Structure 1
């Protein structure tokens, strides 16, 4: 994209970067209130049927994903105009989603600044190896990587580890305010769990909360995964890396059914979000529809997104994701070609 188009793009997006109190408060009301009601109904339904409880818990998990999007916007200071209001609401929604606001804000800001940059991976992103890196890795590192990229570990065990355990500790080098925010979040999570557990009964609490936690966690990791792991995505070395290309070509437009788009807070318009993180989630669709260059981006659907499950390695030569099976075929073909040349 040339400089002229870049300026036009920024000009087109700028009007949507301002949040409105009315829209933000309404989103809070239609997200947190239903979540609390669904949680309570799920609890009351335990006396009727646990299958019914699971139904309400599944729906509540969807609303918890939507709460996380509000938390996410607060981390970008885009949900409210006032930075302090974002920090307060971000901390509260972080307690509900098990994320320490200040710590995650730091790593996520790095993710935005380095997304799709092959030379600046490792903070706020998913572990991805290139073919060359994998081939030169030790056996133990290869095993660790294969385990990490296994769908069961990434989408089931991974969220449990990340949300319950990794989020409870401060990062190395964190400043005092960030550390304090993590401590406040951790203590609040424990107090809320103890309050509900002792009031409603621990077995009832876990029967309701566990499926909500497991489902929302898996959905959250899945969304993050498909937003950057898809066919025709963009990755470049630092010398060739371009922020705008990383945003509009390295972040997907996940075209979801309307009800899923609503529950996921429009985060499927991830190319818009990466281009301008200051656009609140409720304006993302409008930006996409009214900005023609943003409509010509990699688009994935529910069906096509499932193909991304096979992607394991980044092929630097052909600039695309490949599976371990495709990598083995490449190696075999190269080996056959080499033997033929020798003969």
Structure 2
């Protein structure tokens, strides 16, 4: 359990880590972007040797693209550099590489941080999650749409390509001019790079290399975001009961990965700490965990246990748990039983 004094003073505990380090940020750029470009070129070169080798190199490049996305993510939070303009420039460059519009994503992600785990404020920057009662109140077609959305084959099969290649190409409703212009710049940058590479190496070679790089990185990114909030023991509450500390420490997972995977994913597995303070750069998240006992009592989600989250579909407000669709039958049977007992009780009285 979290000590009361630590809970009261968590801001003081985490404040020393909320500063970017210019040398570490530049070193992270160098050990991420340079190897990515080298691996991408090596994957292209290997096309004349063996496509199996190409796939291995492309997967490694895809892993580095996930790391580039985390740098993009830090720039959106203003935590990678102390300078706002530097964050915006690097974030836009990384946004072109990851197919993510910088200003649009920064807005939706800030809303996600402010509302994560709040049942009264869902709908932007999060995984569509309904309560049992909300699901039962839907008309048949919307129930079907929700079931399709929550199907892993659709969520992790079609979802990444739809979101990164299609949805992010358009501005959101109500976006201001600066955000709209940034989306146009991102789109033009993506088109220019694709056009240049197709012109220099040919469209077939481009697709054979970039295809697996994109598919692996987007799938990994989707999975990370999913398991960060859709896990056994997660937290959802309605507005009045919701609080930031509980949503961060219990509604965001500590995804305990092998060190090499923590490196490729920019420590985003320490997501409970990140949600507590998005101002902490990714390269300090592991230190916050290791040096402060307040964060060490959070139950970890492992690679094996995270697979359980694939069966979660719906939130039961009574049990305070994510459940599968099969639970709905038990829920309806229990409700009918309660109604009968209530009816018998009313008649006897």
TM-score normalised by the chain length of structure 2:
0.95
Displacement after TM superposition at 1:342 (Å):
6.9
Is the CA contact 1:310–1:323 (under 8 Å) kept in the aligned structure 2?
yes
Find the counterpart in structure 1 of residue 96 from structure 2: 95
1:204 matched to 2:205:
yes
Is the CA contact 1:9–1:291 (under 8 Å) kept in the aligned structure 2?
no
Where do residues 94-133 of structure 1 align in structure 2 (5 Å cutoff)? 94-133=95-134
Measured against aligned partners, the alpha-carbon deviations of 1:172-211 in whole angstroms (never above 9, x if no partner) come to 1111111000000000000000001110110000000011
Where do residues 238-277 of structure 1 align in structure 2 (5 Å cutoff)? 238-277=239-278
In structure 1, what is the Cα distance between the partners aligned to 2:342 and 2:10?
A: 51
Find the counterpart in structure 1 of residue 12 from structure 2: 11
Q: CA 1:172 to 1:341, structure 2 compared with 1: closer, same or farther past 3 Å?
A: closer
1:232 matched to 2:228:
no
Measured against aligned partners, the alpha-carbon deviations of 1:198-241 in whole angstroms (never above 9, x if no partner) come to 10110000000011111111110100000001111111000111
Find the counterpart in structure 1 of residue 218 from structure 2: 217
TM-score normalised by the chain length of structure 1:
0.97
In structure 1, what is the Cα distance between the partners aligned to 2:335 and 2:115?
A: 33
Is the CA contact 1:233–1:298 (under 8 Å) kept in the aligned structure 2?
no
Q: CA 1:335 to 1:270, structure 2 compared with 1: closer, same or farther past 3 Å?
A: same
Report the secondary structure of 1:196's partner residue: helix
Measured against aligned partners, the alpha-carbon deviations of 1:217-267 in whole angstroms (never above 9, x if no partner) come to 111010000000111111100011101110111100000011111100000
Is the CA contact 2:270–2:286 (under 8 Å) kept in the aligned structure 1?
yes
Is the CA contact 2:3–2:294 (under 8 Å) kept in the aligned structure 1?
no
In structure 2, what is the Cα distance between the partners aligned to 1:180 and 1:330?
A: 49
Find the counterpart in structure 2 of residue 69 from structure 1: 70
Unaligned 5+ residue runs, structure 1? Answer: none
Q: CA 1:299 to 1:2, structure 2 compared with 1: closer, same or farther past 3 Å?
A: closer
Find the counterpart in structure 2 of residue 192 from structure 1: 193
Displacement after TM superposition at 1:99 (Å):
0.2
Unaligned 5+ residue runs, structure 2? Answer: 345-349
Measured against aligned partners, the alpha-carbon deviations of 1:47-100 in whole angstroms (never above 9, x if no partner) come to 011111111111111000000000000000000000100000000000000000
Measured against aligned partners, the alpha-carbon deviations of 1:15-55 in whole angstroms (never above 9, x if no partner) come to 01101110000000111111101100000000011111111
1:53 matched to 2:54:
yes
Is the CA contact 1:101–1:181 (under 8 Å) kept in the aligned structure 2?
yes
In structure 1, what is the Cα distance between the partners aligned to 2:193 and 2:90?
A: 16
Is the CA contact 1:42–1:54 (under 8 Å) kept in the aligned structure 2?
yes
In structure 1, what is the Cα distance between the partners aligned to 2:308 and 2:329?
A: 18
Report the secondary structure of 2:240's partner residue: helix
Displacement after TM superposition at 1:329 (Å):
2.7
In structure 1, what is the Cα distance between the partners aligned to 2:219 and 2:329?
A: 29
Find the counterpart in structure 2 of residue 22 from structure 1: 23
